[in-house]
Chains A and B, each alone.
Chain A
Amino acid sequence: MKHLSIYPVAVVLLLGFFMAAQAHHGWSGNTAGDVEITGEVVEGVSLAGAHGTLQIRDADGRVWDITLAPGPRTHRAGLREDTIPVGAEVTVHGERHEDPEVFEAKVRRVIWEDQVFDVYPPRD
């Protein structure tokens, strides 16, 4: 017991760290490729919680749960909770949920009238 090595503990901790690094940040589940959705805002931008959120209804009547960047980052991109009124038409660019029955998308860009909000850097 006296010479119990600290290495097994270090190995367990490193393994945990490696698993964490494997799980890519936040976009898990939203991997079904690029999507562009245009619709009417049914629930305005909320910047509370881990990420900003927004709900839009597309032309087919489907309500999409939109995930934005974290609150402060979305805010810094110029998109505030009171920027876009409910009922306005917006277009979002991002990646949709891998399940085609789930209307969720994590977006990089929100366009409203002549304003473009890049909550994440554009991918060119």
Chain B
Amino acid sequence: MYELMAWLEASALAEFLRGLGIWTYGIVNLAHILGIGLLFGTVAVLDLRLLGLWQSIPVATIARPTVPLAATGFVLAIVSGIMMLSFNTTEYHGNPFLYIKLPLVGLGLINVAVITRLPAWRRAMAGATGESTDRIVLPIAGAMSLAIWLAVITCGRMIGYW
């Protein structure tokens, strides 16, 4: 882990960012917050729908704006997150919140891959009549997603306080 961190800290990207001036870190941090806001804001709406709120609105209707915005927010957060880490990467060596957060981000992605392959999700997206088990499967999927991203954000916020 330390070798990987030292590599990122010494990378051309890190050198470039450190040379950009005193406000650079703050601006990259701003991009990270905007990414998180987009991701969690849209994911929360979709997940709460899967959990059973706002049943008069079809899942597919809610998914149309929320899924692409969540994906945009995710990419923004990943890119800015790597940039933020690159400034002083080795300073975070041994930081438990970072070490919990990174696998959780991976778990969040796996969760997305699983949910979008579920027959229950496909039926909901097609606007088809759900089977009785869908009323259990979809809320579980929504709860998993909400819990994972909440945990990711909590760990991320705590990194700087360790």
Contacts and interface: CB of A to CB of B under 8 A. Distances in A.
Contacts of A9: 48, 146
Contact of B87 (A12, A16, A48): A48
Contacts of A47: 22
Task: Classify the secondary structure of B's interface with A.
Answer: helix
A28 B52 CA distance: 41
Interface stretch (B58-66, B98-106, B116-124, B154-162): B154-162
Nearest to B151: A16
A27 to B, nearest CB: 9
A71 B25 CA distance: 8
Interface residues on B, range: 20 to 34
B26 A72 contact: yes
B88 interface: yes
Given A28-B161, A49-B18, A2 B52 contact: yes
Given A26-B160, A28-B161, A71-B23, A1 B135 contact: yes
B139 interface: yes
Contacts of B19: 48
Interface residues of A, number: 27
Contacts of B39: none
A11 interface: no
Task: Classify the secondary structure of A's interface with B.
Answer: loop
A28 B22 contact: no
B35 to A, nearest CB: 17
B24 interface: yes
A70 B22 CA distance: 9
Nearest to A74: B22
B150 interface: yes
B78 interface: no
Interface string B50-89: 0111010000000000000000000000000000100110
A29 to B, nearest CB: 8
B125 interface: no
The 4 closest A-B pairs by CB, nearest first: A1-B52, A49-B87, A71-B22, A48-B18
Given A13-B150, A20-B157, A48-B17, 15 more contacts: A1-B55, A4-B52, A6-B53, A16-B150, A20-B158, A23-B158, A25-B161, A47-B22, A49-B25, A53-B88, A70-B25, A71-B22, A72-B22, A72-B26, A74-B22
17 contacts: A1-B139, A2-B55, A4-B53, A9-B146, A16-B150, A23-B161, A26-B160, A28-B161, A28-B162, A48-B18, A48-B22, A48-B24, A49-B25, A50-B25, A50-B87, A53-B88, A71-B22
